[in-house]
A = this chain, B = another copy of it.
Amino acid sequence: MADYEKTVQLGHGSGGTMSHEIVQQVFLKHLRDPLLLALEDGAVLDDQRWLEPSDGRIAFTTDSYVVRPLVFPGGDIGKLAVCGTVNDLAMRGAIPRFMSVGYILEEGLSLQTLDRVVASMAQTAQAAGVRIVTGDTKVVDRGSADGVFINTAGIGTVPSGIEISATRAVAGDVILVSGAMGDHGLTIMTQREGLMFGGSLQSDCRPLASLVQVMLRCCPDIHVLRDPTRGGLASALNEVAEQSNVGIEINELAVPVHDAVRAASELLGLDPLYVANEGKLMAIVPDKHAQRVLGAMREHPDGAEAAVIGRVVASNPGRVVVETLLGTRRIVDMLAGEQLPRIC
């Protein structure tokens, strides 16, 4: 097992001695939380101080990760699996506290690859301040899965007074994004197609909980937060327009897009508004707080390219309208069909 020529075997999922070996020699090599090391059927979160100062309100979320390739510029499936769940918690205003991880491994997966993925999860979790406290590993026979799939679930605490929901956008609110759109999706797509764009494309995969806490400190009354992952900014905005029953107007020129992403999008015939991000958020805030929130975002390393991109309006409820670069207006629907499978 110490020999990294080795690969995952069916016995590693047996619940017997081989399971114990892979747990000890790969998972617990990197994931060192005392609750995880106890190897019980589940973790008991018995230090009650973590519940403060939440009024007992807990946020709970889950995501599975099936991205291909497993490793890409700017991240890998392990980093993504931590960031995705941390970010879902952050989008409810929660401080991420605890995380579970479930691995589904394909027989034959290189243990070196697995080691890298687990190490990446450990590093990302530490950076995000979240503890990986319970887990599970299953192994399926060769051909029945594609290397490794990861599920993470997360628990966070919602500070008192925070009420963030896709239903809370009201006419007059200002819409901001924390940075440029489309980096993750275009990176995955060009990697998979073997395209090169001067090597400048890189996933934006990162945990956003720290940025969100900074934003909430300067404006506890943020109405909506969403991380525009699958379906991109356009789909996230459509969800909010529908759930809040408001109109949304976006200025296309104001939406930050990196040059390499714009070039790759044009070549591939894609609209960056529909491309997945893994380290960006969209915020909808009361007009009177917008400039202060924008300033706070720009001072944070994860929001340096933040921008105001539009406004919530009373007209056209349920619709997202974009003023284009040419000055015309078009309706932007939710993504139909599939743009790129297995982007996260």
Contacts and interface: CB of A to CB of B under 8 A. Distances in A.
Contacts of A146: 140, 144-145
A42 B140 contact: no
A301 interface: no
A16 interface: yes
A220 to B, nearest CB: 15
Nearest to A98: B60
A62 interface: yes
A15 B48 contact: no
Contacts of A63: 102, 136
A42 B235 contact: no
Nearest to A89: B42
Contact of A133 (B51, B60, B342): B60
A100 B60 contact: yes
Nearest to A145: B145
Interface in A233-267: 235, 239, 243
Given A19-B231, A55-B48, A149-B104, A43 B14 contact: no
Contacts of A165: 38, 40
A322 interface: no
Contacts of A303: none
- The residue among A41, A65, A158, A227 with the most chain B CB atoms within 10 A of its own CB is A41
Given A62-B151, A151-B151, A338 B11 contact: yes
Interface string A86-101: 0111011010001011
A322 B166 CA distance: 59
Contacts of A227: 41
A341 interface: yes
B230 A15 contact: yes
B101 A230 contact: no
19 contacts: A10-B338, A11-B338, A14-B230, A14-B335, A16-B274, A16-B338, A18-B338, A41-B87, A42-B94, A44-B59, A44-B94, A61-B100, A62-B151, A64-B138, A102-B153, A138-B342, A139-B341, A145-B149, A151-B151
The 6 A-B residue pairs with the shortest CB-CB distance in the complex, in nearest-first order: A15-B230, A42-B61, A16-B335, A15-B231, A153-B153, A62-B100
Given A14-B338, A66-B145, A145-B146, 17 more contacts: A14-B230, A15-B235, A15-B276, A15-B335, A17-B333, A19-B230, A41-B88, A42-B59, A42-B60, A43-B61, A51-B56, A61-B134, A62-B102, A64-B102, A64-B103, A141-B342, A144-B146
